[in-house]
Amino acid sequence: MKALVIGSGVAGLATSIRLATQGYAVEVYEANSYPGGKLTVFEQDGFRFDAGPSLFTLPHLVDELFALAGENPRDHFNYQRSEVACHYFFEDGVDLMAWSDPAKFAQEVEEKVGVPAATIKEFFQHSQYIYDTTTPVFLERSLHRFSSYLHRDVIKGIARIFSLDLFTTMDKSNRKRLKEPHLVQLFNRFATYNGSNPFRAPGVLNTIPHLEHHLGTWFPEGGMHAITQSLYALAQRLGVRFHFNQKVTQILTSDQKVLGIEVGGKQVASSLVVSNMDIVPTYRQLMPTQPAPEKTLQQERSSSAIIFYWGIQHQFSELQLHNIFFSADYQEEFRQMFEDKTVGDDPTVYIHVSSRMQPEDAPEGCDNWFVMVNAPSDQGQDWDALIPRVRQNVLRKLSRLLKTDIEPLIKTESLLEPRLIRSKTSSFGGALYGSASNDRMAAFLRHANFSGRLSGLYFCGGSVHPGGGIPLCLLSARIVSDLVQSDLPQPQTLAS
């Protein structure tokens, strides 16, 4: 039995692996010349840059794909834990080293901003409580199947719903629990992990700190792109066939069933199709005659990004693998991004320096900077005027806080911005995470991992349930494979 996967982002790769282990003959069709979607890499003037996601959490979700295939993940994919989750710099001169060890971070907070270590420990306990309660409810199963709500842990989670900060915002929850302005801003920042606004997003997103400070942040050997490389190689060993430079132009349907796809003017037949393409172009471009879930497709888009890749002829000892330089007025920054659809003059700046963990990523005495500013999705803004202004504001900010003129140190430079993200990955508007989570019902408004109208059609990736980012994309692949297993006759069963 053949299964067709449209797109080879990390969710598409994981789905192809899972379906192959179920006995399907899997073929993946990818418009680009390479796998990985946003999770790619490039080299320039002796510097290596991971071009996409830079944070790696929940590595067991990658490991389990190798285990499914009967392989030892350590033979193919390895990683190490980062001692520091992130180094935070504030405009008033305060800096906080967010140690991965919660007790050590709590002591840092007590020494730097005078908040008792017990306050941070209590905050992390609440974060873990939310994580343990919501993960089986919101992340590991379809929210769009009645059977999901019959599981004991789901019933338990629903019973606790009023203790999960679902009916308040992240900012209000953090102000209540932490009070201290530096800490409120620091933990509000986790809303950006799914492209949302902490002043509107529900407090249940305060589960995210648990990922960094208890479950840990990790760095793959070979950089983030090693995730793509290892999963692509695993899929190939399982017999998955990849067709690159093959843009799917239509999902073929008839009588409420999927018949296959059209690609390169030819039809490829299959009664099982999984789209790893953004849900909006999946409907608008691949199924233009099918009724579309307009309310879902018209949800507010998540943030996008402006990313400068800078080869720096210097090494700053204060920089860790992950670094954040905060804006002075966080609420105004998000207002400008989500209401004015622009980037203000004082953006928060994130710097990822993989050469801290992997020195060969930069020439001796140099560092490779992945410099990211959160930006609105592409809605027709004058990016050609906006991007140079953002660049100058970033340089001004970093030069001031690092007490060094940065621009003369840039040996090489490249750029990624919303228009390029849209064109390279088919992400609607260049949004990094599909729809934003700026509403307490956002999790339920994301598109399901299956079609309610067309038998045999499924969806994975960051624009559908459970959301964007590497861990959630991997979970979407798991949900899809579970749905396929329960919905359709399985190849092994038929073969026997």
Tell me: do 180 and 210 sit in the same domain. Answer: yes
Tell me: do 125 and 206 sit in the same domain. Answer: yes
Give the pLDDT score at 495.
44
Decide if 361 is inside a domain.
Answer: no
Tell me: do 238 and 288 sit in the same domain. Answer: yes
Decide if 398 is inside a domain.
Answer: no
Give the pLDDT score at 443.
61
C-alpha–C-alpha distance, residues 228 and 52, integer Å: 11
Tell me: do 118 and 202 sit in the same domain. Answer: yes
Decide if 362 is inside a domain.
Answer: no
Instruction: Among 194, 216, 238, give the residue marking a domain's end.
Output: 216
Please say whether the beta carbons of 159 and 395 come within 8 A.
Answer: no
Decide if 87 is inside a domain.
Answer: no
* DSSP 8-class letter at 258: E
C-alpha–C-alpha distance, residues 472 and 478, integer Å: 10
* DSSP 8-class letter at 162: G
Instruction: Among 174, 190, 216, give the residue marking a domain's end.
Output: 216
Calculate the alpha carbon distances from 98 to 80, 82, 223, 236 in Å: 17, 11, 21, 39
Give the pLDDT score at 138.
75
Say what the alpha-carbon torsion angle 19, 22, 27, 29 is, to the nearest 10 degrees.
Answer: 0
Decide if 267 is inside a domain.
Answer: yes
136-158 tens-digit pLDDT: 777 777 766 656 555 666 656 56
Decide if 12 is inside a domain.
Answer: yes
Tell me: do 140 and 204 sit in the same domain. Answer: yes
Instruction: Among 173, 199, 216, give the residue marking a domain's end.
Output: 216
424-467 tens-digit pLDDT: 999 999 999 999 988 877 766 789 999 999 999 999 999 999 99
Give the pLDDT score at 494.
45
Decide if 138 is inside a domain.
Answer: yes
Give the pLDDT score at 496.
40
Cα 200 from chain centroid (whole Å): 19
Q: Which of 486, 496, 477 is nearest to 20 (CA)?
A: 477
Q: Which of 13, 1, 2, 466 is nearest to 276 (CA)?
A: 13
What CATH number has the domain bearing residue 467?
A: 3.50.50.60
Tell me: do 227 and 245 sit in the same domain. Answer: yes
Tell me: do 289 and 208 sit in the same domain. Answer: no
At residue 459, φ and ψ (nearest 5 deg) are -135, 135
The three-class DSSP label of residue 96 is strand
C-alpha–C-alpha distance, residues 172 and 184, integer Å: 9
Structural domain boundaries enclosing 279: 2-37+221-296+440-495
Tokens of 288: 């233009």
Give the pLDDT score at 137.
72
Decide if 449 is inside a domain.
Answer: yes
C-alpha–C-alpha distance, residues 76 and 229, integer Å: 10
C-alpha atoms less than 13 angstroms from C-alpha of 244 in its C-beta half-sphere: 8
Which position has the token pair 């990736």? 461
Residues of the chain short of pLDDT 50, as ranges, are 494-496
Question: What DSSP string runs through 414-437?
Answer: EEE-HHHHHHHH--GGG-SSSB--
Q: What is the pTM (predicted TM-score) of this model?
A: 0.94
Tell me: do 231 and 187 sit in the same domain. Answer: no
344-392 tens-digit pLDDT: 999 999 999 999 999 999 999 999 999 999 999 999 999 999 999 999 9
- Name the domain count of the chain: 2
Tell me: do 171 and 227 sit in the same domain. Answer: no
Tell me: do 172 and 147 sit in the same domain. Answer: yes
Tell me: do 210 and 111 sit in the same domain. Answer: yes
Classify 342 in phi/psi space as left (phi over 0), alpha (psi -120 to 50) or beta: beta
Tell me: do 160 and 182 sit in the same domain. Answer: yes
Give the pLDDT score at 159.
60
Please say whether the beta carbons of 431 and 302 come within 8 A.
Answer: yes
